[in-house]
Amino acid sequence: MTTVLTLLAWAIALLLGGWVFRLAGQRIPWPRASTREYFRDMDYMVAFGFVLAIAAVYWAVILYFVREVTFFRWALNAIVFFAACGFLFRLVGRHVGHDASRKIFRQMPITAAFGILTIFVYATLAVFADFFAPYGQAEIFEKINVLPGGDPALGGDPRFLLGTDQLGRDLLSRLIYGAQNTVGIAFVTTCLTFLIGATVGFLAAALGGWVDQVASRIVDALMAIPQLIFALLLMTIATAWAGSDKALIMIYMVLIIAFLDSTRVYRLARAVGLNIVVMDYIEAAKLRGETLTYLIFREILPNATAPLLAEFGLRFCFVFLTIAALSFLGIGIQPPLADWGTMVRDLSQFINFAAFSPLTAALPLMAAGAIALLTVAVNFVVDWMLHKTSGLKE
Amino acid sequence: MADTNPLVRIRGLKIEGRSDEDWIQIVNGVDLDLNSGEVLGLIGESGAGKSTVGLAAMGFTRDGCRISAGTVEFDGIDLIAADAATRRALLGRRIAYVAQSAAASFNPAHRIIDQHTEAPVQHKVFSMSNSQADAMELYERLRLPNPTEIGFRYPHQVSGGQLQRAMTAMAMSCRPDLIIFDEPTTALDVTTQIEVLAAIRDIVEQFNTAAIYITHDLAVVAQMADRIKVLLKGDEVEEAPTRTMLADPQEDYTKTLWAVRSFQRTQKPPAPSSDVPVISIRNVTAAYGSVPVLHDISFDIHAGRTVAVVGESGSGKSTAARCITGLLPPLEGQIEFEGAPLPRDYRKRSKDQLRQAQMIYQMADTALNPRKRIFEIIGRPVEFYLGLRGAEKRRRVEQLMEQIEMDPGQYIDRLPSELSGGQKQRIGIARALAAEPRFIICDEVTSALDQLVAEGILKLLANLQDSLDLSYMFITHDLATVRAIADSVVVMKEGRVVEAGPKDEMFTPPHHPYTDLLLSSVPEMDPDWLTGLLEARGVDNIGDSASARMS
């Protein structure tokens, strides 16, 4: 009963707060005329939103200092840290380099700066994994299940900063090699996806008629089946074909994901292409007697790069998550290659310790966090690019 | 009319527009006074800031613009300082706006009358039923067909001219003191335009409404406005009562505007009948699917001559061009090039046959690939047809750019988006010339351009024709363009050739009644022209209604 009453009291306080907030804003003699006008013309709903946001920040601050709420504190710390990184990166970009690049950095939101920085760090780690990783990805040590932190008093070991897994492999090394394997394979797969999807999509748009009909109906049929289940089904068949050849399984996986995901790219490429083929410059090129190849690659493709590039970022995330999911289920990237999906699976039972030993529970969360961070980063960059190409201004 | 207390009073209005990071001033201190019941015409080329000033009279700016200085007073109320509630009470109620494209401004998901009644009910001027009754009365006054029924249709079920009138009725729904008309007839055919003009003028007079009429068409503004204000690049050039302004413009810029329509080429003598025409259209019948659009049309185009094909939209002039280029293979009849029949489908034509007939499009924006540089756009046909590469190709492109009077050094590496509308159209011409054709189809090439720029394009085309012995098929709905450049004229209506002949004959009576209607609907600079025409023809005998009666 008291809970209900407390909630009710809060709700009433917030509702009144909106009104008070607006009134206060109108009474304060702001130095700038635009601020005064903003408060004068403010809707009650907007004022309420402000008050709600203030209350949320207040709760967050209170929660931050409660000792038991470890993960929330970590998350907040991480967000502040990443925001600071993004801000610093943008600050550097604004003052270093070419005029044009400085201009780009000046107009860049902080989210995009953070996204670019993260992608850059991931790419560097992936490419130079051998250099950055302290140990090999399959190297086994006798100390198993070392906790992260490197503090012996808390079950850590200074040699293994992020701890070891249940076989005694160094997690930091495996995370870095995981970047190479997971991200690398996802990148190759996405490129393949776009090669298939965009080519067929533009062909359907440029030719129309029965080519378009046949291709589109096949794609419709493929899209009707849930993607992950379809991928699992095909992977089962592929695993049977591949036998014990682990490299072959991975190649099949790349092909299957590329094929299934290309249906989505096809839809986009066809839709974008249809808008382009009706332009007069395409008609002019046709009347000039140009070939289909020239039309697609020289006239249509340059005008479709912006939406396709944005889609590439998104598609990359989905491919990447599918690979992680398949690996989690044991039919994706094969051991002993390090992979984030497999790492989450192998360490997943430690999540049960979250309530009394946050450090133990952090073991599977590091790989999951690596996946989440990259996905968020790519989405930030894609959002920014879409915003730029669509010509929207804030 | 007390001059001391005008309805709208704008002083020192400065407006800035945002470009990337900077604010650029686009209106540099304009003053404007408008008394109640008066119509002020705002004219200028595109980018002159006329729409921006018009909107500012409502205390409103487009996204990305801001009023940086000056005052806008409406009936003594300072619109810039006023709070949102005050402005909301004025807009729609006492100030209304009629946009250029009614088709794009009506919500397609609601019936016309529902959109009409929204403002009066919201502002508590009328009840719902009274407002509906009032709408029907307004529709009747605006001479819309079936006034009791037309409001219950959806916007797509009504023609463009009718929709524009319905929008004017909507602006009138609260009996505002001020209406801002932003190019309300620019997108319409001449025959439709005249109906809308007559309707707008009539209703503005009846209700004694003040109006700001924004347009780039001088002849139109001469009919509508009591006073004219000329703008150029955000500055006021001059302002005077309509008659004074027309008779005695003071500034040089205004004088050039007035002189635009004077360009006229003498008609060339008709080609000897023994001559083989460059292009000959013989008994062509064509259809989109099962919908017939062309019925047995024939005409010839001789070397070095310009044939203007005129008619309102939907008359089949562009379809005829598509038949000639082979994009729409005709069902019957054939196209001959220098006496030899061309294959009907462009895919079956040889490279040389394709090269001989080129096209220039209406919208240079969509006709040039926005991702290609000028060098590539003009260079492609040079390379494709003539096989020139490397330095030879570059020299040829530079030569072509000199022909279209653009400096190669400055423009050759630009993207189309870095050019003005007129320059883009010149690039379109250069691309057609690059193929070294004998025949060019010009599809409404000047209708998207300002009059001064359009005149430059017409002069260029005329010079090119003389130096290269080109033949033009000139598709247009603007009879001033026809008068300027054509040697002979083909009038089309509903897919048929109504009348054809040399230009001089076509502009002197007697005419086919449809030609007569078309010719008489072209606005003239004389401010009494519309009044005179209405008296001569009668209100019911103009525009679409007259056109419909003919078929």
3-state secondary structure labels for all residues of B169-234: HHHHHHCCCEEEEECCCCCCCHHHHHHHHHHHHHHHHHCCCEEEEEECCHHHHHHHCCEEEEEECC
Are the Cβ atoms of B384 and A290 closer than 8 angstroms? yes
Token code pair at residue B180: 């801002």
Phi-psi region of B385 (alpha: psi -120 to 50; beta: other; left: phi over 0): alpha
Q: Hey, what's the torsion of the CAs at B369, B375, B378, B383, to 10 degrees?
A: -110
Backbone angles phi, psi at B317, to 5 degrees: -70, -40
Q: Where would I find the H helices in B404-474?
A: 408-411, 421-434, 451-468
Looking at residue A195, what is its pLDDT? 93
CA atoms lying within 13 Å on the CB side of residue B234: 13
Mutating which of B345, B369, B372, B386 best tests the A interface, going by the most A Cβ atoms within 10 A? B369
Task: Report the SS3 class of residue A213.
Answer: helix
Q: Chain A: nearest CA to B62, how far in angstroms?
A: 13
Residue pair A179/A339 in contact by the 8 Å Cβ criterion: no
How far is it, in rounded angstroms, from Cα B219 to Cα B526? 7
pLDDT average, residue stretch A235-255: 87
Q: What is the pLDDT of residues A138-155, one digit of tens each?
A: 788 877 777 777 777 777
* Inter-chain CB proximity B20 and A107 less than 8 Å: yes
What are B502's two structure tokens?
A: 């040399």
Distance CA A374, CA A258 (A): 20
Cross-chain CB nearest to B370 (options A103, A287, A303): A303
Shortest distance between the Cα of A299 and any Cα of chain B, in A, equals 7
CA–CA separation, B433 and B401 (whole Å): 10
Task: For B392, list phi and psi in degrees, rounded to 5.
Answer: -60, -45
What is chain A's mean pLDDT, rounded? 87
Of residues B439, B422, B420, B374, the one with CA closest to residue B401? B374
Question: Is A303 in contact with B83 (Cβ distance < 8 A)?
Answer: no
**pLDDT band at residue A393, thresholds of 50, 70 and 90?**
very low
Instruction: Look at residue B340 and give its three-state secondary structure.
Output: strand
Nearest to A288 among B83, B84, B354 (CB): B354
Contact indicator for A165, A174 with CB cutoff of 8 Å: yes
* Bridge partner list, B297: B284
Which residue, A267, A309, A303, is CA-closest to A285?
A303
pLDDT of residue B1: 43
Query: Can you tell me the distance from the alpha carbon of A281 to that of A287, in angstroms, rounded to the nearest whole number?
Result: 10
Q: What is the pLDDT of residue B289?
A: 81
Q: How confident is the model at residue A255 (pLDDT cuts 50, 70, 90)?
A: very high
CA distance B235 to chain A (A): 27
Could you tell me the mean pLDDT of each successive run of 10 residues in chain B, 551 residues long?
Answer: 71 83 83 87 82 86 84 86 84 86 84 90 88 89 83 84 85 88 80 83 86 86 88 86 84 78 74 82 88 88 90 83 90 89 90 91 88 91 90 92 88 87 90 92 85 86 90 86 87 88 80 81 80 76 69 60
What backbone torsions phi and psi does residue B182 show, to the nearest 5 degrees?
Answer: -105, 95
Cα B6 to Cα B4: distance, rounded to the nearest angstrom: 6
Chain A residues inside the 8 Å CB shell of B435: 288
CA gap B530, B219 in Å, rounded? 10
Give the strand order in the sheet containing B227-232: B95-98, B178-182, B210-215, B39-43, B227-232, B235-241
CATH of domain B38-110+175-259: 3.40.50.300
In angstroms, rounded to a whole number, what is the distance separating the alpha carbons of residues A204 and A211? 6
What local confidence, expressed as pLDDT, does residue B442 receive? 92
- Scan for tokens 């009494």, then name that residue: B528
Residue B2: what pLDDT?
45
pLDDT at A49 over 90: yes
The shortest CB-CB distance from B21 to any of A107, A281, A290 is to A107
Alpha carbon of A33: minimum distance to chain B alpha carbons (Å):
10
CATH 3.40.50.300 in chain B, residue ranges:
38-110+175-259, 279-520
CB atoms B349 and A289 under 8 Å: yes
Q: What is the pLDDT of residues A302-349, one digit of tens each?
A: 888 888 888 888 888 888 888 888 888 888 887 778 888 888 888 888
- The number of C-alpha atoms within 13 Å of B423 and in the hemisphere containing its C-beta is 16
Residue B22 C-alpha, separation from nearest chain A C-alpha, in angstroms: 12
8 Å CB contact between B305 and B268: yes
- Least CB-CB distance to A281: which of B84, B326, B368? B368
Q: What is the ipTM of this complex?
A: 0.79
Please indicate whether residue B216 or residue A3 has the higher confidence score (pLDDT).
Answer: A3
Neighbouring-strand partners of residue B238:
B230
Kindly determine whether residue A280 and residue B366, on different chains, have CB atoms separated by under 8 Å.
yes
Q: Where exactly are the structural domains of chain A?
A: 1-65, 69-108, 171-389
Rounded CA gap, A138 and A148, in Å?
19
The b/e string for B358-387 (b: 16+ C-beta within 10 A; e otherwise) is bbbbbbbbbbbbebbbbbbbbbbbbbbbee
Model confidence at A392, pLDDT cuts 50, 70, 90, reads very low
Select the residue of B327, B346, B371 nearest A303 (Cβ to Cβ).
Answer: B371
A222 band by pLDDT with thresholds 50, 70 and 90: very high
Phi-psi region of B302 (alpha: psi -120 to 50; beta: other; left: phi over 0): beta
Beta strand pairing call for B22-34 and B235-241: unpaired
pLDDT at A390: 64
CATH: 3.30.1360.200, 1.10.3720.10, 1.20.58.340, 3.30.450.20. Which one for A171-389? 1.10.3720.10
- What CA–CA distance (Å, rounded) separates B203 from A227? 62
Task: Give the pLDDT of residue B261.
Answer: 65
Interface probe with B: pick from A35, A99, A281, most Cβ of B within 10 Å: A281
Residues of B in contact with A37 (CB under 8 A): 83
Rounded Cα distance, A31 and A110, in Å: 28
Per-residue pLDDT at B539? 67
The pTM of this model reads 0.79
Write down the pLDDT at residue B256: 80
Handedness of CA A123, A128, A133, A139 (dihedral sign): positive
Closest chain B residue to A279, measured at CA = B366
Q: What is the pLDDT of residue B395?
A: 92
Instruction: Give the nearest partner residue to A393 out of B18, B349, B363, using CB atoms.
Output: B18
A302 to chain B nearest CA, in Å?
6
Question: How far is C-alpha A350 from the geometric centre of its chain's CA atoms?
Answer: 25
First to last CA, chain A: 46
Q: How far is A224 from chain B (nearest CA, A)?
A: 31
For A260-306, write each residue's pLDDT tens digit. Answer: 999 999 999 999 999 999 888 999 999 998 899 999 989 999 888 88
Report chain B residues touching chain A, CB-CB < 8 A: 18, 20-21, 63-64, 83-85, 325-327, 346, 349, 351, 354, 358-359, 361, 363, 366-372, 380-381, 384-385, 431, 435
Instruction: State which amino acid sits at residue B551.
Output: S
> CB–CB of B327 and A279 under 8 A?
no
Q: How many other C-beta atoms lie within 10 A of the C-beta of residue B459?
A: 15
Q: Collapsing DSSP states into helix, strand and coil, what is residue A157?
A: strand
Fold category of B279-520 in CATH: Rossmann fold (3.40.50)
